[in-house]
Amino acid sequence: MNIQQTAIDAAKQAGELIRERAGNIASVETKSSLFDLVTDVDKRAEGIIRRVVSEVYPDHCIFGEESSDGDVGDVSSSHEYVWIVDPLDGTTNFVHGVPFYCVSIGVVHKKELVAGGIYDPMSDELFTAAKSEGAYLNGRLMRVSGEKRIAESLLASDFPANEYRQATVNGMLKLSPLCRNIRTAGSTALELAYVAAGRFSGYWELGLKPWDLAAGVLLVQEAGGRVSDTLGNPYTIETSHVVATNGLIHEELIGHLAEANATG
């Protein structure tokens, strides 16, 4: 089994648990803030991913949201392969019964993304990408959308569970009269997958973690889009303020965010 197939296997097994446990959550706790939630299902899903991956790749490092400390840059300096795992992205939606969340697994080799898989267990949509091999939705090649201007774009963003909510509001106030519309769907990874699939023209958010981004970034890049930080610098695994678009609207979006004081 190769890396891509193992990522898919792990994401699907974790997704099965999440689907079974939707509406039947045993515990909800808070983490870094009152608005940052974790459930027993997040933790169990990460355990499944850890088991599946380590059986096949015992020497790879697994950097998972619910069981890893430290800095992704340091971890990637000391390990050739790192699996960057968000076992349940969109936990707030999961807790409230809103069926928009996913499992997200990105794999880096020497700090470069090489494979990614995002699985939406409720719609049974599997988004995958491997470096230089394109991006796929349930096995069919996917491409970013073709909007050339913000005026014809459907954008997405989210309010993080940290100090960047005001800056997000600044960006929304600036962009909402200028674009077709803005969605705040509550799962960064799945929204990035939607950019890759051409459903959203672009996405931005501040204050994210490596596991929110890794798989989705590779999907967008391999689907022909562009990913940078909010100042326009190329994405690295340490980026936390992100802009991901179809490429065509990228500069225009970054310009508006800068004017609105909505960059990180």
Closer of 39 and 221 to Ca ion (Cβ): 39
By CB under 5 A, the residues from 54 to 73 that bind Ca ion are 65
Contact status: 120 vs ligand IPD (CB under 6 A): no
Choice from 9, 66, 86, 147 touching ligand IPD (CB under 6 A) = 86
Convert residues 61-80 into a mask of x (bound to ligand IPD by CB under 6 A) and - (unbound): --------------------
Distance of alpha carbon 243 from alpha carbon 144, whole angstroms: 14
Q: Are 170 and 45 in contact (CB under 8 A)?
A: no
Q: Total residues contacting ligand IPD (rule CB under 6 A)?
A: 14
The answer to whether residue 262 forms part of the interface with ligand IPD (CB under 6 A) is no
Identify the residue whose tokens are 């960006």.
171
Residues 184-223 that bind ligand IPD (CB under 6 A): 186-188, 205, 208, 212
Shortest distance in whole angstroms from residue 73 CB to ligand IPD: 19
| Residue 229 contact, options Ca ion, ligand IPD, none, Cβ 5-8 Å cut-off depending on partner type | none
User: By three-state DSSP, how is residue 89 classified?
Assistant: strand
Q: Which of 9, 46, 66, 89 binds ligand IPD (CB under 6 A)?
A: 89
Provide the 3-class DSSP secondary structure of residue 114.
strand
- Residue 158's nearest CA partner among 198, 197, 192 is 192
Q: Binding Ca ion by CB under 5 A: which of 9, 46, 86, 229? A: 86
46 binds ligand IPD (CB under 6 A): no
Q: Which residue has the tokens 């100042």?
A: 231
By beta-carbon proximity to ligand IPD, the closer residue of 64 and 198 is: 64
Contact partner, 90, from Ca ion, ligand IPD, none, Cβ < 5-8 Å per class: ligand IPD
- Out of ligand IPD, Ca ion, none, which partner does residue 243 contact, by CB within 5 to 8 A per kind? none
- Residue closer to Ca ion (CB basis): 90 or 171: 90
Here the tokens at position 239 are 């980026």
Measure CA 241 to chain center. Answer: 12
Beta bridge partners of 29: 38
Between the two ends of the chain, the Cα-to-Cα distance in Å is 40
Q: Among positive and negative, which fits the CA dihedral 257, 119, 90, 31?
A: negative
Taking a C-beta distance cutoff of 8 angstroms, is the pair 71, 110 a contact? Answer: no
| Residue 191 found at the interface with Ca ion (CB under 5 A) | no
| Residue pair 229/241 in contact by the 8 Å Cβ criterion | yes
User: SS3 letters for 53-106?
Assistant: HHHHCCCCEEEECCCCCCCHHHHHHHCCEEEEEEEEECHHHHHHCCCCCEEEEE
Instruction: Please tell me whether residue 167 binds ligand IPD under the rule CB under 6 A.
Output: no
In the complex, the residues that contact ligand IPD under the rule CB under 6 A are 86, 89-92, 158, 160-161, 186-188, 205, 208, 212
In the complex, the residues that contact Ca ion under the rule CB under 5 A are 65, 86, 88-89, 212
